Structure formats: structure tokens, C-alpha cells
A and B are shown apart, each in its own frame.
Chain A
Amino acid sequence: MSVIENPTAARAAKKWARITALRKRTPVSDGIGMAGLALVVLIALLAPVLAPYSPILRAGEAFLPPLTPGYLLGTDGVGYDILSRMLFGLRASIASAAIVIASGVIIGGAVGLLAGSVGGWVDNGLMRVTDLFLAFPGIVIAMAVAAALGASFSSALIGVAVVWWPMYARLVRGEVRSWAARPHLEAAVLAGVPWSRRVRRHLLPGVTSTVVVAASLDVGGLVVAMSGLSFIGLGSPAPAPELGSMAAQGMQYLLQFWWIPVIPGLGVMLLALLANLAGDGVRDLLSRR
């Protein structure tokens, strides 16, 4: 029996069996979501190279329908090329989602880690503040903050970031508390391992996978929420290519030239759907350990 004689081959066979089993148990949609999202992100990153026209200069006649030669998705009421604007709009959506998630994870993670690992009045105080933020209707507060700072891309980001971190703070604090109660951390405390080392070596690695799963499930909803803000005018001002504001500006043509407002909406939906499927995929991969 060659397998028994050769331990390396046995290990490889075992690994292969595990991968096959994993593939069987993982829904097809996970793969579609991850591959699709990767593709969209790549296309969006390459927007300056791929876009046939400038997103903010007239490219041709107005109101050209989709599939017109040279204008794959048609042109809008001004004569901008919709495809070019979509590519840049997707790029803005992806960038803003990434920035808000990153800020949520960093701020919320820091608050949660501090509250959970120090405990006592620090925990109490930080969680009171967190609960206060969670008690408000987040999207409405985001609108107020963005409006107070004046409509721009960065105000919208700040507005949403202000309401997006508390969820992560709650999550991280809960995880940290449950890890801190485990025997190996009790042992670490008794052995005199300092707080900073306990956090770095034991608590942080423990919460990472939970946070990654939560963050990846969060992207789809965030993309949709931010497009809504842009739709009511809280985002980059007029000619800048943003999916929400493109739809809002095209709304007046809805009944005659449906593609002008509908295509940007479909772009948001595609991005959110892929992100949701990919999020499920990340969860399926990481929660099976």
C-alpha cells in the first residue's frame, strides 16, 4: 500500500478529500458571489482605462438608447456616456463601502476591544455611548451629519461612518468577553501576562474571524444605504459620477427614457447582490473550522 508507505502522499490525499468535501458542502452561489465581486471590483479599479469616454464630458447626442454602436449603455439627458459614468460610479461605491467598513472596524474594534478587555467603568462608559448611538435611526442621523457638513463625497462618508461603528463595538466587546472567560486567558492573567500582550496574542486573533464575517456580510447593505444618501443629494455634487445621484438626475426621464435612471439602480443592485452572496461565502468558509 503506497499510501501507508508514503506519509506525504497520505497527507496530500487527505487534504484533497477535505477540499472536495468543502466544495460539495459550499453552495454554488458562494462561488458566483466571490468571483463576480472580484470581477466587478477589478473592472471598477480599471475604470479610467476601460471607460470609452470621460464621465463628465459630453460624449455624443443625448437620449441614445442602450446598445447604440459606440454607446453600450446609451447616453443620458446631457449626452454623457452612461457606461463610462457607471464604471466610475461603481468605483466610487466600492471605495466608499471599503472606507466606511474600514473605519467601522477600526473605531468599533478599538472601542469594543478596550471595553471588553479592561472591563469595569471603562466598559460601562464606552458601552453606554455605543448604546446611545444604536438608539437612533442610523440612516437619519447619517443624513443630518452629511447635510451639516455640506453635500460632498467626504461628508457622506463621515455621516455614514459616524453611525456605522457601534455595531462593531458591540460585536467585538461580546466576543472579547467570551474569550476572556476561557481557561487559557485565566491562566494568562494568573501567570502575570501583561494586558497589552494578552490583547495582542490572545484576544485580537480570537475576534478576527467574527469581525471579518460580519464586515463581509455588511458590504451589500452599506452600498445600498450610501446610494440612497447620494440619491437625495447627499454626496458628490452634480456632474460627479455616483450611482445614486445619476438615478436621481435621470428620474425626470423615467417614462420616456427608462434606461437613464434605471441602469444606475441596477448597478447598485448588482454590486449589493454580489457582495451579499460573497459575504455568505466568507461566512461559510470561516465559520467551518
Chain B
Amino acid sequence: MIMFLIRRVASMLGVLLALTIALFALQEVSGIDPAKAYVGANASAEALERTRVALGLDQPAITRYFDYLVGLFHGDLQNSLRTRTPVSDGLATAFPATVELAVWALGFALILGSLFAVLTVVKWKGAAVVRVVLLSGASAPTFLLTMIGLLVFYGNLGLLPAGGRSSFGATSPGPTGLYVIDGLLAGRLDVAGDAIWHLLLPAACAAISPAVSIGRVLVDGLKINLVSDHARTARAAGMRESLVLARHAVRNSLGATLSMVGIQAGMLLGGLVVVEKIVSWPGVGSYLDKSVQASDFPGIAGVALLLGITYVALNTLVDVLQVVADRRIALS
């Protein structure tokens, strides 16, 4: 188990190192001059040259890569060409917003996916309708779902807000930056409730397509396990069908489903970018969108690095959880 952990973490670090090399190479290709980010477009040629030397941009690429890497370890993601301030500052305020949205979206995806799977397997009559709705939902781009959600729940019904994260202004009442938790910690139920009210639509819209993928894997697993020998034995011993499903089928299907959850977390991050843009969610996705509009590569690379680290760490966690659930995996 310990050997497995060490191996897994080492491979994670290797992957992240490769990511930094890739982003550095892309920055080279993009032809963007970081010195300009510091001095601005109107600076004189001498000032630009001085900054270039001061930033070490006259050095060969290898040296600059190591400077970049050392900078990363100190939390330096270079300056944004758009805001002329450090990318790390912008991301530090945006990241909690995205984490909160992503956690809720993943939660919705798990609930919807499980519901879809169980209803399909127990052959509930309305399951066909659920299936058609979810499958068409999975073919719809996230931006369409979010726009229709806004039209219906804000435009027509007036039940949900048009966008944003809170009606109480942009400052969090607590330490985590997650408004629901901070609101609860501070005893401000109104703040927490308001945050949930703002979360519902974007989280649900981002959840649909991962939910279908997760649900499909779960359905396959459940179907195989329900006709397996141990399920048949349990039935022969007089176990109720609902218990066979709960004890013997669900548990044995969790491994593959968990892998799918890890993969879908990556797709979810992509979907969140679009959702955040539509509902003006002040998260990493909106930051990326603004960076793209301004051709601000340091901003884009910062987001890619942050989301890359999140994704790789999450998948490492999923692998470890799978070993915790089933030790045989660590041996193979």
C-alpha cells in the first residue's frame, strides 16, 4: 500500500512536470513577450530592453524554463497582459468560486447519474422518459442548456437569479471563500441560502453531461453484477431483490464508476468555463474567458496549470480510493 502510494505520487509529479514543460513551450510558440506585460505597450524600446534583462528574458530557453519552474514553486504565474497584475492574484480570488460550483455540479452529476442507473436497472416505467431526456441533454452543448435554463427559470418563472454568485456583494463572510460553508460558519443562514440559490442553475446545467456518462457506466456494471453467480446465489438464498441490488450489485460496480467520475471531472472543468461565462460566475472560467478575449497567454496558461493540477490530483485521489476499496488493484 505504501509502495503504491509512493509510485502514484511520483507519477503524478512527473505528469505535472510535463505539463509545465508543455505550457512553457506553448508560451514560446505564442510569441508573446512577458516583458511587455510589465512595462505596457507604450513603453520606450530601452525600458522594454531593461525589463527584458531584469526578467532574464535574454537568457537561453533552458535557463528561462528553470526560472519559470522556480517561479511556479514560489507561486509566481507571471503577470497578466490584461490586468498587468500577477495571474496568481487573479486566480486566488477566482478559484474558490469555481471549486464551490464544481463540487455542487459533481454532486448533482452523481445524484442524477445514480438515479438514471437505478431507474433503468429496476425497469421503472418512467425510466424511458428519463433516458430520452438525459440522452438528449448529453447531446446538447452546455451553453445551450444554461441559456435555456436561464430563459425558463429566470426569464419566465423568475425563480432563480440571472447570474452572479451572491446578492450580498463579492466579499465572503468567512475564511474558506466557499459562500455556503462560510455563511453557515458565520451563522448567516441568509447568506448560505442565497449562495445555494445562485448555485442551483449553473451547477445543474454543468452536471447533465457528466451525469449521463457516469450513469451509463453504472448501468453496465449493475447489469453485469445482477446476473452474476453471487447475485444468483443470494437470490436463491431468499434475499430480496432490493437488497441484492444494494449489497451485491452497487458495491461491485463502484470501481469502474469511480474511474468514470475522475474522467468526467475533467470534462466538467471544461463545461464550467462555458457556464461561468454565461451566468457571470466570478470563477476561473470567467477569468479564462476574459484572458482569451484579450489574447492574454500568461492568464490562459495559469488557468490551464491550475485546472491541470486539480485534475491530476483528483485522479490520483480516485486511484488511491479505489485501492482502499479493493486492495487487489494495488498488486496488479
Contacts and interface: CB of A to CB of B under 8 A. Distances in A.
Given A228-B142, A228-B270, 6 more contacts: A136-B19, A137-B266, A137-B270, A144-B301, A145-B26, A258-B151
5 contacts: A136-B15, A231-B141, A244-B141, A254-B150, A262-B147
B197 interface: no
A227 B15 contact: no
A268 B142 CA distance: 11
A149 B29 contact: yes
B144 A144 contact: no
Nearest to B289: A232
Interface stretch (A61-69, A182-190, A269-277): A269-277
Contacts of A266: 144
Contacts of B23: 144
Nearest to A135: B15
Given A135-B15, A136-B19, A225-B270, A151 B295 contact: yes
Interface stretch (B47-55, B229-237, B305-313): B305-313
A228 B140 contact: no
Contacts of A234: 292
Interface residues of A, number: 41
A149 B295 CA distance: 10
Nearest to A224: B141
A244 B4 CA distance: 43
Nearest to A141: B304
B140 A269 contact: yes
B273 interface: yes
A225 B209 CA distance: 11
Contact of B292 (A140, A233, A255, A276): A233
B274 interface: yes
A94 B136 CA distance: 19
Interface in A173-228: 220, 224-225, 227-228
A140 B143 contact: no
A194 B249 CA distance: 48
B143 A135 contact: no
A150 interface: yes
B144 A132 contact: no
A236 to B, nearest CB: 14
Interface string A224-263: 1101100111100000000010011001001100100110
What are the 4 tightest A-B residue pairs by CB atom distance, in nearest-first order? A265-B144, A139-B270, A137-B266, A148-B26
A265 B283 CA distance: 23
A45 interface: no
A114 B269 CA distance: 33
A254 B151 contact: yes
A143 B288 contact: yes
B147 A265 contact: yes
The B interface is mostly helix, strand or loop, or mixed, namely helix
B148 interface: yes
Given A144-B26, A147-B297, A232-B277, A244 B270 contact: no
B271 to A, nearest CB: 7
B266 A138 contact: yes
B269 A137 contact: yes
B183 to A, nearest CB: 29
B295 A136 contact: no
B253 interface: no
A228 B148 CA distance: 16
Given A149-B30, A151-B295, A140 B144 contact: no
A276 B155 CA distance: 31
B274 to A, nearest CB: 5
Contacts of B311: 136-137, 140
B278 interface: yes
A171 to B, nearest CB: 15
B76 to A, nearest CB: 18
B96 to A, nearest CB: 19
B27 interface: yes
Interface in B11-61: 15, 18-19, 22-23, 26-27, 29-30
Contacts of A276: 135, 138-139
B10 to A, nearest CB: 13
Nearest to A250: B147
A140 B295 contact: no
B272 to A, nearest CB: 10
A268 B15 CA distance: 34
Contact of B136 (A147, A233, A273): A273
Contact of B266 (A139, A147, A151, A220): A139
Contacts of A143: 270, 273, 288, 292, 300, 304
Contacts of B278: 251
